[in-house]
């Protein structure tokens, strides 16, 4: 496994790949869990060259303390990536990606509702930070395919729109959410939960399943489905609801009536930690859970 820290070395290496087969890329902020590893395995299986990046992107955090608090364990990450037989790990330095005179941002300007609310999560700073760093990483790594987890619906929507709007020749492939036995989606911050909070957190997935049960029972009115999800979520005092929505997965625009490809989306926080999760109804009895 080759580790690249230097931007020029990454650019040169990517240039060398251009004729060498498809490149699959998994951008991460490190502190890897099995959700990330599933993305790595998809990249390995579907592409000739597999690349992961580890970069805690400072410009997508609203508050410095969030950035400082973000968990890091590079030694463990490298061991996991080596075990997953990833070809190249790109670990850029923040001062290289954002030199003092850095001033060109990629800005998703027409963000749907979910991207504008929920401070610290769906903010314009978050959107701009994600869009900018993904654009930069795509230029440096020049992948053919990039892998993202379904869990972060907002990131997925930003990336899809970004690739389309800027005509970037990269195909985003969205992989299923990996869950713990109680249904909680794996996430780098789960680790910060106390035992009681961790137990309570499973209500997020249970709320999604409550919504699913109604859809499966042919309920199509989004307001009814959202109410059932909210009613379950508020039974858990450790969990504070941010929002529950039925929306289109590509644009996050609200759907008043559930139609195939509708996403049930939950955002909540536990203490200072933000959580999102979603499931997608494909029509009939088919779901992406």
Which residues are known to be catalytic? 36
In the complex, minimum distance from the CB of residue 111 to its own copies, in angstroms, rounded to a whole number: 8
If the CB atoms of residues 56 and 224 are measured against its own copies, the closer one turns out to be 56
In the complex, minimum distance from the CB of residue 58 to its own copies, in angstroms, rounded to a whole number: 15
If the CB atoms of residues 117 and 139 are measured against its own copies, the closer one turns out to be 139
Q: What are phi and psi of 188, to 5 degrees?
A: -65, -25
In the complex, minimum distance from the CB of residue 130 to its own copies, in angstroms, rounded to a whole number: 11
Rounded to whole angstroms, the Cα distance separating 260 from 242 reads: 25
Q: Report how far apart, in Å, the C-alpha atoms of 66 and of each of 62, 233, 273 are.
A: 8, 25, 10
If the CB atoms of residues 102 and 271 are measured against its own copies, the closer one turns out to be 102
Rounded to whole angstroms, the Cα distance separating 285 from 215 reads: 9
Q: Which two tokens stand for residue 150?
A: 């379904």
Q: Which two tokens stand for residue 160?
A: 């899809």
Residues near its own copies (CB under 8 A) are 7, 11, 14-15, 18-19, 97, 101-111, 131-132, 135-136, 139-140, 142, 161-162, 165-169, 251
In the complex, minimum distance from the CB of residue 255 to its own copies, in angstroms, rounded to a whole number: 16
Rounded to whole angstroms, the Cα distance separating 115 from 118 reads: 8
Residue 198, burial from CB neighbour count under 10 angstroms (0-12, 13-18, 19+): middle
Longest dimension (CA), the chain: 56
If the CB atoms of residues 41 and 154 are measured against its own copies, the closer one turns out to be 154
């Amino acid at each position: 496994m080759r580790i690249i820290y230097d931007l020029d070395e990454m650019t040169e290496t990517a240039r060398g790949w251009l004729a060498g087969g498809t490149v699959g890329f998994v951008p991460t902020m490190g502190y890897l869990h099995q959700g990330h590893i599933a993305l790595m395995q998809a990249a390995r299986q579907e592409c000739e060259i597999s690349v992961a990046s580890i970069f805690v992107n400072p410009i997508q955090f609203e508050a410095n303390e969030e950035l400082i608090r973000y968990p890091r364990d590079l030694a463990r990450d490298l061991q996991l990536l080596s075990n997953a037989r990833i070809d190249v790990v790109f670990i850029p330095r923040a001062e290289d990606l954002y030199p003092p005179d850095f001033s060109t941002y990629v800005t998703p300007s027409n963000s749907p509702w979910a991207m504008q609310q929920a401070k610290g999560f769906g903010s314009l700073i978050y959107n701009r930070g994600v869009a900018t760093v993904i654009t930069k990483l795509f230029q440096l790594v020049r992948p053919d395919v990039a892998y993202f987890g379904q869990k972060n619906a907002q990131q997925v929507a930003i990336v899809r729109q970004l690739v389309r709007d800027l005509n970037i020749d990269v195909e985003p492939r969205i992989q299923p959410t990996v869950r713990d036995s109680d249904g909680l989606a794996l996430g780098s911050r789960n680790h910060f939960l106390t035992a009681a909070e961790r137990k309570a957190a499973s209500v997020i997935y249970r709320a999604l399943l409550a919504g699913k049960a109604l859809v499966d029972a042919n309920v199509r009115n989004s307001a009814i489905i959202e109410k059932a999800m909210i009613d379950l979520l508020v039974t858990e005092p450790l969990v504070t609801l941010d929002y529950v929505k039925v929306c289109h997965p590509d644009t996050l625009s609200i759907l008043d009536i559930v139609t195939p490809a509708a996403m049930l989306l939950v955002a909540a926080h536990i203490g200072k930690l933000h959580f999102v999760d979603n499931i997608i109804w494909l029509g009939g009895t088919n779901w992406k859970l």
